[in-house]
Amino acid sequence: MAPSAILVCGFCIFLFHLQSTRGNKQVNCNRLRCGDIDIEFPFGLRGSNQDRRCRYYPIQSFQLSCLDQTQTILTLPGFGNLTVKSIDYETQSIRVNDPAGCLPKRFLHKWNLSDDSPFALNPLIYGTIPFNLTFLRCPSNVTDSSQFPSVPISCLSDKSNYSTIVSWSQPIISSPLLSQQCEVMFRALVPLPVLDTPMLPFWPDLNTDLDLVWTQPNCRDCSLSGQLCGFSKDKTKTPQVRCFARDSTKGLSRSGKYGLAIGVGIPGVLCLIGICCCIGGKLRMLRHGGRSTDVPVRSVPLEMGLDGATIEKYPKTLIGESGRLLKPNDSTCAICLCEYEAKETLRSIPQCNHYYHAHCIDHWLKLNATCPLCRNSPTASLFSFSPTSSLA
């Protein structure tokens, strides 16, 4: 039992050491959170105490800001600050919008996602070429008409007098309301979902979240396999981005953590008990000349034990040089489980005639007046033989 416990414990220690060794090659980064957004590699958070390698530091755009602990801000060159609505690490996409709730206003100025920016419009949603739209300023009484073909952009409109609308490339010539009473404000490229193009010229809401993607660093495979992406601790001039095992305790419910603690704690306690028992057994063997003689742990009956004088009346037998036993088939002491050897003294129990090492049964009888095997309780008055004999 004890050697197997040591083997199990040694295996557990080896696994722990292996896991620790693997973990030392990784920058330990905790997942951060701002509002409803989980922030992990390649993104970082300004003002946090994390190692700079917890974000993809070669590109500053991956450094997010947290406003009032509720609003996550992404800053892009040529585009300014944008509010992060969600981040999908498996598809490497991020949804953003204007902090003031007026994304169309951003398109009225020159914008470019290719200059010093790791992000691009999601080609699966927007295609490859933005739409060339014309922003028109029309009187409110015209845009409120039931015959008006377009929906005004509320955040760009002067609700008291004028409304702003958009049309395809040029004002809609077929609409006399647009050609006669509206003026051109701007012409700009606007990203629109490809699936919404059949709605021309009735454009969808231009204030819909903008879907962006990034390709570098490529951590998609790490996320799909349930691992973490990050820089290694290799001592090189350019740290490499690799996949690392995710901490299994994170994200678990409280009951899950309790279950994990019990599942790991109980084998650990049993392992510790096994080691203690093994060490205790070795110490006993050294104390008694290489033989374990202490009474093993047993449940002690409620009966009172015998005094020393009564125990001495129980017959003794000295084993001779030949090692011949009273019962050849019974060569092991049932108390200490050690085999009988020459020149050892045995003591037997009257009536049942079961014998044991004298020091073992003496210790037992001081606690319990019965035979350890058959539980007989003989009295000293029944003894009719010599208390000491010997075997050749």
| Domain map (residue ranges) of the chain | 1-15+253-292, 308-390
pLDDT at 300: 45
- Tens of pLDDT along 76-92? 887 789 999 999 999 99
CA dihedral 187, 190, 192, 196 (to 10 degrees): 0
pLDDT at 84: 95
Report the alpha-carbon distance of residue 319 to residue 337 in Å, rounded: 17
Lowest mean pLDDT among 10-24, 36-50, 62-76, 324-338: 10-24
Q: CA neighbours within 13 Å on the CB side: how many for 22? A: 11
Report the alpha-carbon distance of residue 105 to residue 331 in Å, rounded: 98
Pairing outcome for strands 44-45 and 63-67: parallel
pLDDT at 168: 62
Q: How many residues does the chain have?
A: 392
- Tens of pLDDT along 269-295? 887 888 888 787 777 777 665 554 444
Task: Please tell me the CATH superfamily of domain 308-390, with its number.
Answer: Zinc/RING finger domain, C3HC4 (zinc finger) (3.30.40.10)
- Tens of pLDDT along 290-314? 554 444 545 544 557 888 888 888 8
Q: Are 118 and 173 in contact (CB under 8 A)?
A: no
CA dihedral 249, 250, 253, 256 (to 10 degrees): -10
Query: What does DSSP assign to residue 340?
Result: P
pLDDT at 301: 46
